Structure 1
Amino acid sequence: MSSPISGLPLQGKTAIVTGASRGIGAGVALELGKRGCDVIIIYNSPKSAELSQEVVSRITSLPHHPKALAIRGDLREPQAPESIVETAKSWLIANGRQDKIHILVNNAGMELVKRLGEITPEDFASVYDINVRGTLLMTQAVLPYLSERGRVINISSVGARAGFPGLSIYCSSKAAIEGLTRSWAAELGHNGTTVNTVNPGPVQSEMLDNIPKEIIDAQKKATPIQNRVGTVEEVADVVGWLAGEESRWITGQTISASGGWAMY
């Protein structure tokens, strides 16, 4: 791997970002590309295909011309992660690269707004299959190809440590991500690999539109920095830092990216 160009600390590295056709995932993919990384973005629905290609175009149009690829994969399907990684490996080899993944960002997720008495087993499975099992299986699939000093960055939510009415399935699934992170950090650190979680507060995105307005308004009022929601770019900057060498002594941690709404 060549030495990184000044200002491109992730040059020569490859990242996979799940749920990267829009919102935080797209912002993270673009930020990693700006830092010199080649980026493989994962999307699910057919309607996300065009959005994913737009993200690819934005990355490959950067002045230093990083490579990017969009792969469709439904993380609700247990076999999807292995299929995604096989496609990614073939692409890397075709582009003269080693079949190594340096950074995995587990961002794909879904929310559900339902009161306790309304939740069905199907509701539970739909959220946990993506938010928790999908994160687990995606990380397992990448593990044989994860480089030394690799980075696994999980995207959770401040909801993991907060109680919001109607969001028990979502919040509990995000709390599970924190538990996975701590255990994986203990398992994978022998070769310099770090595993961390980023917990965004409310971020202006399509997903935010589905959260009850009263919850968002209350969060704004309780946010020390400017009483506002965050931006995709602000969260992506935190992920970009965790992906780099500067964060090498940080592992097993959950970082609140919430403007101080949540202070851990």
Structure 2
Amino acid sequence: MKQTSTPIALITGGSRGLGRNAAFALAAQGSDLIITYQRQQADALAVVAQVQVQHEGRRAVALQLDTGDSASFPAFATRLRELLATQWQRTHFDHLINNAGFGHHAAFAETTEADFDALYRVHLKGPYFLTQALLPLIADGGRILNISSGLARFSFPGSSAYAMMKGGVEVMTRYMAKELGSRGIAVNTLSPGAIETDFSGGRVRDDATLNRALAAQTALGRVGLPDDIGGAIAALLAPGSHWINAQRVEASGGMLI
């Protein structure tokens, strides 16, 4: 599909981790950006500044959003509509990346109802109702990319509740693709494997024993880096990838194959 203007991508949780690297990869590919943050405004503004310095002509804006608070989504959609009008003189954006989230590690027997509910609000209910609220602002022919996890395919003790939510995200993707196809909107899931970030307390990055064990179970012989996932997100949103639709794409370096 021919892109007639600069694409605008909205990344939830774009102030750090995989969202941050996705922002840089998409800016390098030619996208303008809207990133959301929950509390880390300074980090989000640093991402915005780096995009503008390193990629001349690219525009980036940070907006506050709590993806666990679905009652706030209509007001967020209103702010986004106003931002598109004032900053871009447009009524729609092109790409939505449902990325915001947090890690959780606890045995099944020790996971509390409060833990479960918090994961549900941010990882499953949030993307579902945020996407619903933003549908009028997503351009026909646009894309939605939902971030899942390799843990929805393989199982490690301590990840049951988190992985359940990501499994729901993968089902949600297929239904979105089916129901939004009439608007030409392609919807996919990207499922990262083990990545060296501060996610879940930085376990993969900081625990050398765990890092080596995961690398030994990965065909490419190492765990992933944030840039590996930023590049994968950019590839799935590139102009030539629009015919990829309703798919689960795992970016894990060949983990546990």
From 200, 210, 213, give the equivalent of 1:218: 213
Q: Deviations over 1:93-130 (max 9, x none)?
A: 11242120100000001121111221221111011100
Residue 78 of structure 1 corresponds to 70
Query: In the TM superposition, what are the counterparts of 1:166-181 in structure 2 within 5 Å?
Result: 166-181=158-173
> By how many angstroms is 1:210 displaced?
4.3
Match of 1:240 in 2: 234
Counterparts of 1:11-160 in structure 2, within 5 Å, are 12-45=6-39, 48-160=40-152
Unaligned runs of 5+ in 1: 5-10
1:245 is aligned with what amino acid?
Answer: P
Partner secondary structure for residue 99 of structure 1: coil
Structure 2: any 5+ residue segments left out of the alignment? none
Deviations 1:134-161 (A, max 9, x none): 1111111111111111100011110011
Residue 7 of structure 1 corresponds to which residue in structure 2?
Answer: none
Does the CA-based 8 Å contact 2:146-2:190 persist in structure 1? Answer: yes
**Shift in alpha-carbon separation, 1:122–1:28, aligned structure 2, 3 A:** same
Aligned in 2, Cα 1:118/1:63: closer, same or farther, shift over 3 Å?
closer
RCO higher in structure (CA 8 A, sep ≥6): 2
How far does residue 236 in structure 1 lie from its aligned partner after superposition?
1.1
State the one-letter code of the partner of 1:246: G
Report the 3-state secondary structure (helix = DSSP H, G, I; strand = E; otherwise coil) of the residue aligned with 2:54: coil
Deviation string for 1:50-72 (max 9, x for gaps)? 10000000111234321111111
TM-score (norm 2): 0.92
Kept after mapping to 2: 8 A contact 1:185/1:251: yes
Q: 1:124 to 1:63 in 2, by over 3 A?
A: closer
The separation in 1 between residues aligned to 2:65 and 2:153, in whole angstroms, is: 29
What is the TM-score when the length of structure 1 is the normalising length?
Answer: 0.90
Q: Residue deviations 1:211-264, cap 9 Å, x none?
A: 474654332101111x1111111111111121122111111101110111155x
User: Residue 170 of structure 2 contacts residue 248 of structure 2 at CA under 8 Å; is this kept in 1?
Assistant: yes
For 1:62, give the aligned amino acid: Q
Q: Percent identity?
A: 30
Cα contact 1:202–1:208 (8 A) shared by 2: no
2:176 maps to amino acid: W
Q: Which amino acid aligns with 1:61?
A: V
Q: Give a deviation string over 1:22-50, Cα, whole Å, max 9, x none.
A: 010011112111222111100001xx111
Q: Distance in 1 between matches of 2:95 and 2:88?
A: 18
Residues matched between the structures, number: 253
| CA distance, structure 2, for counterparts of residue 62 and residue 82 of structure 1 | 33
For the residues of structure 2 that align with 1:159 and 1:64, how far apart are their CA atoms?
38
Report deviation, 1:191. Answer: 2.7
- 3-state SS of paired residue (1:110): coil
Counterpart residue identity of residue 213, structure 2: A
CA distance in 2, matches of 1:85, 1:195: 20
Q: CA deviation at 1:91?
A: 1.3
Aligned match for 1:253, one of 243, 247, 256: 247
